[in-house]
């Protein structure tokens, strides 16, 4: 089992920045994809960014490319999502998730929430205009 805990959410003005953290504990030894997802009220959960266990590739939704950056610190078992130039439409609950897959997968797989089997409780991000 893997436990994921998100932190770093909050309320900011449009154009501001936030950095979300996802700390993993438990059975973190096996290689895993880690993704950030978000869900706004009345909308489906959508993939924002993902990083494979080998770290060289990073996947981003088109809506956040150039503004968000996913990174990982393996020594701390933590994955980060740096969010810059935030927009009101970025307002959502943000979730961290992990998938026990080590092989290469395309972005369409990595950004789909149904492929992930471990989830955090979420952290709220609110962007005001």
Residue 23: its pLDDT value, please?
A: 95
Where would I find the beta strands (DSSP E) of the chain? 2-7, 10-13, 18-26, 33-39, 46-51, 59-60, 68-73, 78-83, 92-99, 118-119, 123-128
Give CA angle at 5 (2, 6), nearest 5°: 140
Residue 74: its pLDDT value, please?
A: 87
Residue 56: its pLDDT value, please?
A: 77
How many other CB atoms sit within 10 Å of the CB of residue 46? 15
- Bridge-based pairing of strands 92-99 and 123-128 is antiparallel
How confident is the prediction along the chain (129 residues), in pLDDT tens digits per residue?
Answer: 899 999 999 999 999 999 999 999 887 666 689 999 999 999 999 999 999 988 678 999 999 999 999 999 989 999 999 999 999 999 999 999 999 988 889 999 999 999 999 999 999 999 999
Residue 55: its pLDDT value, please?
A: 67
Sequence-ordered alpha helix ranges (H) in 1-129: 107-110
């Amino acid at each position: 089992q893997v436990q994921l805990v998100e932190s770093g959410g909050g309320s900011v003005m449009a154009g501001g920045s936030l950095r979300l953290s996802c700390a993993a504990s438990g059975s973190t030894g096996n290689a895993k994809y880690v993704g950030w997802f978000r869900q706004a009220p009345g909308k489906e959960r959508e993939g924002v960014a993902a990083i494979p266990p080998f770290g060289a590739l990073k996947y981003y939704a088109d809506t956040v490319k150039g503004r968000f950056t996913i990174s990982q610190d393996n020594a701390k078992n933590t994955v980060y999502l740096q969010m810059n130039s935030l927009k009101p439409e970025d307002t959502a609950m943000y979730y961290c998730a992990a998938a026990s897959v080590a092989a290469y997968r395309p972005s369409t797989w990595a950004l789909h929430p149904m492929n992930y089997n471990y989830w955090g409780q979420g952290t709220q991000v609110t962007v005001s205009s």
